[in-house]
Amino acid sequence: MPFRATILTLYPDMFPGPLGQSIAGRALANGLWSLDAVNIRDSATDRHRTVDDTPAGGGAGMVLRADVVASALDAVADDRPILAMTPRGAPLTQARVRTLAAGPGAVILCGRFEGFDERLFDARAIEQVSIGDYVLSGGEMGALVLLDACVRLVPGVMGAASSGDEESFESGLLEYPHYTRPYEWEGRTIPEVLRSGDHARIAAWRKRKAETDTRLRRPDLWERHSGARVQSPSGARHDDEG
Ligand code: SAH
């Protein structure tokens, strides 16, 4: 059974969008994954096909109705995890992406306006997911990001070599930097070690670069990475590696 994605959205025409191109697009055409975009508005029951209403308690904007979204969801829900895109959700991680990609797929709810009526999350088993600490105008771009990250890991989508675990975040670190020809460009050369043909030295250099770059660019990641490695039996952290 290939990876199946169902998107609930007010803008189904945004799909597959960029996921119809390149690696994801080829895999989609080859049936390695499937994508279904369902219009939430089709689940509205009134003459005007209303999906939203004003926020209880007042304030700007509109809120997606729990009843309308739930009925759209119930019509497609099966054994797949249900994810809702929201800046209030848990930040998406490569680990979560990897688990999702190994599963049957996902049903993804895309918000608009001020977001969803909160009761939706009490009434259904929905995982709230954020793609970062910034606000989008809708969940569709978030869903595209999440699916792009998942689909490239679906078996058969990328060559075995490229889905390797050296990639950024796979080991809790950023990946080492890359270089390619020409050897000299604007007076800058490729690090000599990469031309040495000495695989052990190259591996050691790459590991060191991954570590220093992570430490300098992403102290948050480094903290977690070195914290996980350097734990005394008492649980106290050593400072000498950080
Ligand atoms: N009022 C909300 C933001 C609504 S933005 C708040 O302040 O929390 C409208 C929709 O865009 C959201 O319902 C969600 O589906 C999507 N969205 C916005 N930012 C997002 C993010 N960082 N991650 C995932 N989805 C996001």
Bond preceding residue 191 cis, omega within 30 of 0: no
Q: What is the pLDDT along the chain (242 residues), one digit of tens a residue?
A: 699 999 999 999 999 999 999 999 999 999 999 999 999 999 999 999 999 999 999 999 999 999 999 999 999 999 999 999 999 999 999 999 999 999 999 999 999 999 999 999 999 999 999 999 999 999 999 999 999 999 999 999 997 655 567 789 989 999 999 999 999 999 999 999 999 999 999 999 999 999 999 999 999 999 999 988 766 555 555 444 43
Beta bridge partners of 185: 188
How many angstroms separate the alpha carbon of residue 118 from the centre of ligand 1?
A: 13
Q: Which amino acid would we find at residue 101?
A: A
Q: What is the pTM of this model?
A: 0.93
Candidate from 85, 110, 148 with most ligand 1 atoms within 8 A of CB, to mutate: 85
Q: Which atom of ligand 1 is nearest to the CA of 132?
A: 22
3-state secondary structure the chain: CCEEEEEEECCHHHCCHHHHCHHHHHHHHCCCEEEEEEEHHHHCCCCCCCCEECCCCCCCCCEECHHHHHHHHHCCCCCCCEEEEEEEEEECCHHHHHHHHCCCEEEEEECCCCCECCHHHHHCCCEEEECCCCCCCCCHHHHHHHHHHHHCCCCCCCCHHHHCCCCCCCCCCCCCCCCCCCCEECCEECCHHHHCCCHHHHHHHHHHHHHHHHHHHCHHHHHHHHHHHCECCCCCECCCCC
* CA 72/CA 68 separation, integer angstroms: 6
With the most atoms of ligand 1 within 8 angstroms of its CB, the residue from 116, 135, 144 to mutate is: 135
173: annotated binding-site residue? Answer: no
Q: Whose CA is nearest to atom 3 of ligand 1?
A: 114
Ligand 1, atom 20, lies closest to the CA of 87
- CATH numbers and ranges of domains, the chain: 3-151 (3.40.1280.10), 166-242 (1.10.1270.20)
Is 131 flagged in the annotation as binding? yes
103, two tokens: 């599963």
